[in-house]
A and B are shown apart, each in its own frame.
Chain A
Amino acid sequence: EPEVTQTPSHQVTQMGQEVILRCVPISNHLYFYWYRQILGQKVEFLVSFYNNEISEKSEIFDDQFSVERPDGSNFTLKIRSTKLEDSAMYFCASSGPGAGGSGNTIYFGEGSWLTVV
């Protein structure tokens, strides 16, 4: 069974620090996503990435956030200067390789818990 892997599984960081969450999507997938879930709340879409660029982003995904695919395997989410309200579970996901991503099953990673103190 193919899987999306995320590291770290849990990170505690001080407010104002930069955080990088890492994801290894499934190897032949072309569409990559980050979602987040604040404790007790529903999952929220952050950003989607295709062909080495952001294809969609939500209002949450402001200038503090960035994504990168630095090599052929990793997909990272960077939070530049963390705030208390960034504390959440961050899920990476991937789909593809079909066109548009919508016709394919999406696979989620296990999530990275971020706690900002």
Chain B
Amino acid sequence: KNEVEQSPQNLTAQEGEFITINCSYSVGISALHWLQQHPGGGIVSLFMLSSGKKKHGRLIATINIQEKHSSLHITASHPRDSAVYICAVGPGYDKVIFGPGTSLSVIP
């Protein structure tokens, strides 16, 4: 069993739709990260969470430590949101365990 799992694996949405990507993990963590990987390969850190909820623009990330589950929400999705979204867990950035990623395609 993978230590970090994401669902769905692939997601296609119409522009404007509300999108949810889920992450579940089986290891003890002190931090969970959401990352965005662009089609060219570059990676951008979106959020680091240890509890509760964070919001940045149209992106919202939540975490439930007891249930070992996190969600990334995108409101009013746009084609430029098309990317691979990666959940990663660990004690900070050392020995971070990455999830397999969710490939999102937003169609105009």
Q: Do A and B come from one complex?
A: yes
Indicate if the CB atoms of B45 and A106 lie closer than 8 Å. Answer: yes
Name the interface residues of B4-53: CB closer than 8 Å to any CB of A: 30-31, 33, 35, 37, 40-45, 48
Name the interface residues of B42-92: CB closer than 8 Å to any CB of A: 42-45, 48, 86, 88, 90-92
Indicate if the CB atoms of A42 and B101 lie closer than 8 Å. Answer: yes
What residue in chain B is nearest A89 (Cβ atoms)?
Answer: B41
Chain A residues positioned under 8 Å from B97 (CB to CB): 45
The minimal Cβ–Cβ distance linking B52 to chain A, given in whole angstroms, is 15
Interface size class of B (residues with CB under 8 A): 20 to 34
The minimal Cβ–Cβ distance linking A110 to chain B, given in whole angstroms, is 5
Indicate if the CB atoms of A43 and B94 lie closer than 8 Å. Answer: no
Indicate if the CB atoms of B30 and A102 lie closer than 8 Å. Answer: yes
Indicate if the CB atoms of A45 and B41 lie closer than 8 Å. Answer: no
What residue in chain B is nearest A43 (Cβ atoms)?
Answer: B98
Name the interface residues of A59-102: CB closer than 8 Å to any CB of B: 89, 91, 93, 95, 100-102
With A42-B101, A43-B88, A43-B98: A102-B93 Cβ-Cβ less than 8 Å = yes
Q: Does B95 contact A (CB under 8 A)?
A: yes
Chain A residues positioned under 8 Å from B99 (CB to CB): 42
With A42-B100, A43-B98, A105-B48: A91-B92 Cβ-Cβ less than 8 Å = no
What residue in chain B is nearest A112 (Cβ atoms)?
Answer: B41
Name which of B31, B92, B99 has the most chain A CB atoms within 10 A of its CB: B92
The minimal Cβ–Cβ distance linking B58 to chain A, given in whole angstroms, is 19
Chain B residues positioned under 8 Å from A108 (CB to CB): 35, 42-45
Further pairs besides A43-B86, A45-B95, A55-B94: 17, Cβ < 8 Å:
A35-B96, A42-B86, A42-B101, A43-B88, A45-B97, A45-B98, A48-B93, A95-B93, A100-B92, A101-B92, A102-B31, A105-B45, A106-B93, A108-B45, A110-B42, A111-B41, A113-B41
A and B contact pairs by CB, cutoff 8 A, 7 listed: A31-B93, A37-B41, A45-B95, A45-B97, A106-B33, A108-B42, A111-B41
